Amino acid sequence: MENNPQSPPNPNGGRPKRGGQRGGGNNQNNPRPQNGGQRRGGGRGNGNGVTPLSVPGATMSRGAAVRAQKRSQADAQKIANQYQAANPQQVAQAERRANFIDDSPRLKVISLGGQDGGGSKNTMLVEYMNDALIIDCGNDLGVDLPGINYGIADMAYLETVKHKLRGYVITHGHLDHIGGLPHIVPKYPAPVYGSRFTIGMVEKIFENFGLPMPDGFQLNTIVMNEETHERLKVGPFFVELVRITHSIPGSTCVVVDTPVGRIINTGDFRLDPNPLDHERSDTDRLIELGNEGVLLLMSDSTTSDRPGRTPSESTIEPTFVDLFGRAPGRVFVALFSSNINRIQMLVNAASQHGRKIAMDGRSMMSTLEVAVKLGMIRIPKGTFVPIANVPNMKDEEVVVISTGAQGEPSSALQRMASGDHKYIKLKQQDTVILSATPIPESGNDKLIGAMVDNLMKNNVHVFRHDHREVDGCGPLHVSGHASMDEFGDMIEMTKPKFFIPVYGAYRSKHYHIEKAVEVGVPRKNCLNTENGQVVAFTPDKMEIIGEVPHGTILVDQTGAIVNSIVVKDRVLLAEEGLVAVVLTVDKKNGNLLTSPDIISRGFIYMRDNEDLMNGLRAELRRAVQQRFKRVDLDRFKAELKDHITHYLFEQTQRSPIVIPVVNVIGGKGEVKTTHGPANRPEKSLDEIASEQQERFQRMREKLLGQDARVD
């Protein structure tokens, strides 16, 4: 443990001192001191021997290597932190101005998700004294982290008030409004209320959920009739659903009459004057509710940057009829999976032209199943054929409906475009229609562009909404969300005293507030709130009274929760790669029994870097010789890890994750293996790599079966 007199001069002596800062919370994986600098306590025996090994002839300080490693770690942490779990302690010591486990006669409305842009993991808690409701409980499919399928709202706060929970009320069946339910309802059981179609989608999502439900758990769903303005008493609340148009059947506004006043959550909406299913928004009822008095309106803000009105969904039906008639051969249409009205249009256009329909895309089939079961789509007998039959049918009798309108890498349409589809080989005379536009700010326009390139290489005719003038066709897509004038209408109909825009980026909500002010809501009665803020109401006052824990829980493709430290490691692996070294040391004399084994993944290709590998082997031999007998095993591994990190940084300017494995062979041939990080399962790196590959594939397939967000 003492300083090693033989060790070469330590270059740390002259290194710049800037690196003194501790990595804050970033070093959870690495609790030991990193840089020989300030060790606490100054224990005498080993006080200055922390980094006795150094790279001979090093021109760069060890501090630089350590800082680079910290930087990589911090970067990885930053990426992982975009989606952080709630931190109750932090909030507790922050300026929490009230105890929220209080039962004061105020109405409290808290968004646990959905107020941080993108309209994701929409989850809202309504709380009054001893009772609470959750409106929507969605997931966020836009999380871009390795191995992560989606995020859900962190329910740390619900945990503290779970005894108050009386039910979940759902506005509509899109995943960003129901995708959190299979995680959260089993933990906090209460009935789930919604329209017939919404409940159909909720039951489907539980049915398809990958993980088993806890013993004894039974999903309790309650279908509410939005036609009859049925009002259900849930605790001290009266709940009512009001029909509204969006891009999935059974969409509703949620009305909750509370002892303090009436609140309305619009859910996602547009005011389509002429929807295909003739299920217009129930504006009469909204006006009635407004006349009776509304305390608070929380209104969808997704597309508040669009002036005017969103055109009716029915405006695009003639385009389908036209294109189906003009197509010389087969027709392929890609669209969002849950848009049943649009599928109905395609069914109508197909039967008008004597074509049959084949469908490809799991999420689409799943939604269609619910719609068929509930009689919400009319399909003439014999219209649908299996996709496997398509190659044997006459070209002019075929329509294929699929997912992939966003160019998702292994969606059905993309596989067709790249020639990887099991049944479909595209050919000249085929027609491909993309009935969608890129989801704003998703980056999907690039994916779509690449897919269209591939389609065109197959010589097919491509029709796209945003190129319709060039492509020579009518409109092929309309948004499911309102434009500015409709937002204004909603406020004018419901005449709320207070207004909180929801489901959108801060700027979208900002524009929405401007609209509210324009149509008569006093500016002081509007709030642009964020997730976690507690908004309290009395009949004539709205104020933010504090903040509760909130955040994102990350979920992988199996449905399991993933710790953010794991995600950080994955980001680091992806950025920097991994180097493992395996040493087999004779316990008695401290000699290496075999040449050090070095395994590199995602760092460098070893065969192209033999000098570096030989250098590293020499370093490892030197390390064993100088240190193995002098320090205990844990200390030796720690030093080894530092030393390798330093060496590799010197040579390559990169900081891969380093895992030292030391096998110590004792007197009677028993082997003791110790790894850098404790308790890793004993798998070979090849096994780990191939498992990761498999998981990645599965995740990818699953991801691509879902519509991330729906416009």
Catalytic residues: 300, 481
Separation CA 219–CA 187 (nearest Å): 11
Tell me how far, at minimum, the Cβ of 172 lies from Zn ion, in Å.
6
Tell me how far, at minimum, the Cβ of 360 lies from Zn ion, in Å.
23
Separation CA 326–CA 473 (nearest Å): 11
Pairing of strands 123-128, 131-137: antiparallel
The nearer residue to Zn ion, 174 or 464, going by C-beta atoms, is: 174
Tell me how far, at minimum, the Cβ of 268 lies from Zn ion, in Å.
3
Tell me how far, at minimum, the Cβ of 96 lies from Zn ion, in Å.
33
The nearer residue to Zn ion, 157 or 503, going by C-beta atoms, is: 503
Residues 6+ apart with CB under 8 A from 448: 405, 406, 407, 434, 438
Pairing of strands 578-586, 597-601: antiparallel
Separation CA 593–CA 216 (nearest Å): 56
Structure tokens at 307: 């002036």
Separation CA 477–CA 517 (nearest Å): 31
The nearer residue to Zn ion, 268 or 317, going by C-beta atoms, is: 268
Residues in contact with Zn ion by the rule CB under 5 A: 174, 268
* Backbone phi, psi, residue 448, to 5°: -65, -45
Pairing of strands 496-502, 431-434: unpaired
Tell me how far, at minimum, the Cβ of 246 lies from Zn ion, in Å.
6
Tell me how far, at minimum, the Cβ of 490 lies from Zn ion, in Å.
15
Tell me how far, at minimum, the Cβ of 251 lies from Zn ion, in Å.
7
The nearer residue to Zn ion, 477 or 568, going by C-beta atoms, is: 477
User: Which secondary-structure segment (H or E) carries 399?
Assistant: strand 398-402
The number of beta carbons lying within 10 Å of the beta carbon of residue 682 is 7
The number of beta carbons lying within 10 Å of the beta carbon of residue 462 is 19
Separation CA 569–CA 690 (nearest Å): 18
The nearer residue to Zn ion, 268 or 408, going by C-beta atoms, is: 268
* Backbone phi, psi, residue 150, to 5°: -160, 170
Yes or no: say if 80 and 145 are a contact pair by the CB < 8 Å rule: yes
The nearer residue to Zn ion, 226 or 268, going by C-beta atoms, is: 268
Counts of helices then strands in the chain (DSSP H, E): 19, 27
The nearer residue to Zn ion, 139 or 525, going by C-beta atoms, is: 139
DSSP code, position 460: -
Separation CA 103–CA 156 (nearest Å): 18
